[in-house]
Amino acid sequence: MIVDDSAVIRGMMARWLTEAGGFDIVATASNGRMAVDAVERSKPEIILLDIEMPEVDGLAALPLILKAHPSAKVIVISTLTQRNAEISLKCLSLGAVDYLAKPESARAANAAADFKRDLVHKLRALSETRSRQARTPAPALPVVKAPQVPVVAPRAGSTRPQCFLIGSSTGGPRAVERVLMDMKAALPGIPVLIVQHMPPMFTAVFADHLAALLAMPVREAKDGEPVVPGTVLVAPGGRHMGIASSAGKPVIRLNDGPPENFCRPAVDVLFREAAAVFGASTLAAVLTGMGADGTQGARHIVNAGGTVVAQDEASSIVWGMPGSIVKAGLAHDILPLESIGRSLKGLITGSSK
């Protein structure tokens, strides 16, 4: 179902999805009130929900839509403004699974082409996840352990983590929140670096949101700033974030290099450079997200003797990124979202409590 007050936008998205194949447009609506009425009749699997609409906007409509049809996957769509970034993150906290930045009319063909590509890729990933979940459940995947590094369990002689990295995409903001809240007691003792696939402006709002939630320093990373315990740094949208050693101390390095895995920031960049600086004391978690970003970087961490944890399929919105880690044999543990923070806290503090 496509919900947007612009008939032009509704028609454009419907045409793109029809041309892409594999999608049926079961309903359209021009405002939130009409969407709530339509969702009860059409029962769409995926809903594209514009934020700015007359009568009932996307933020007000979202909880009503999910109440009427709880299994729907909602992607919110908005233009790139700070206010819309804040509203989009609020929608994620209310149950939306992802967001798309709508191109402004002034930014012609390239922006529209990028929006089309992102739209089709996100919907394809969500639909594939739903197809897998609809099948008869397969036996649980075994825990995959890389033989050259210790499993996730504190033990004598193991290297205590000195840097914690998170990579995530679709469904990531809520997953990141949960992991950090569950390991909050360990955060003062370690620097935390996050690459969440988000457009510019969204990452600053996300950092502010985490700062309020955790009641500790969280901000967008700045080039050259030190990587120190007790601080959470988020990669700025549109820029790669890595780590370098300066005068023997780790510092942030931002760059505008080409996208990797169609992403900038890319998880691979952070993982690769962190492994070079922190070696066996690198700890990383790969959470829900589409694609395979993070897999090559995780290989660097494993080869350096560090530890990689992947979110399991059942608790992931899209099991692309963590699934790729698991299939490559790079996950030291595969955990449901509700167990990741507690496990990581134990590794960092050396305590299972």
Catalytic residues: 169, 197, 293
Q: How many residues would you count in the chain?
A: 353
Q: Are 318 and 169 in contact (CB under 8 A)?
A: yes
Distance CA 164, CA 177 (A): 15
Give the residue ranges of DSSP H helices in 30-139: 32-42, 58-68, 82-94, 109-134
Q: What are phi and psi of 254, to 5 degrees?
A: -100, 145
Tell me how far apart the alpha carbons of residues 81 and 20 are, in angstroms, rounded to a whole number.
29
Q: How far apart are CA 135 and CA 137, in angstroms?
A: 6
Rounded CA-CA distance 183/343 in Å is: 8
Q: What is the CA radius of gyration of the chain?
A: 20
Nearest to 241 by CA among 256, 262, 228, 219: 256
Q: Taking the mean position of all CA atoms in its chain, how far away is CA 35?
A: 27
- CA distance linking residue 15 with residue 248, whole number of Å: 55
Q: Which of 54, 79, 61 is nearest to 1 (CA)?
A: 61
Euclidean distance between CA atoms 218 and 220, whole angstroms: 7
| CA separation for the pair 292, 323 (Å, rounded) | 8
Asked if residues 254 and 241 have their Cβ atoms less than 8 Å apart, the reply is yes
Strands (E), the chain: 2-3, 28-29, 46-50, 73-79, 98-102, 163-168, 192-196, 218-220, 232-234, 240-246, 249-255, 282-286, 307-311, 333-335
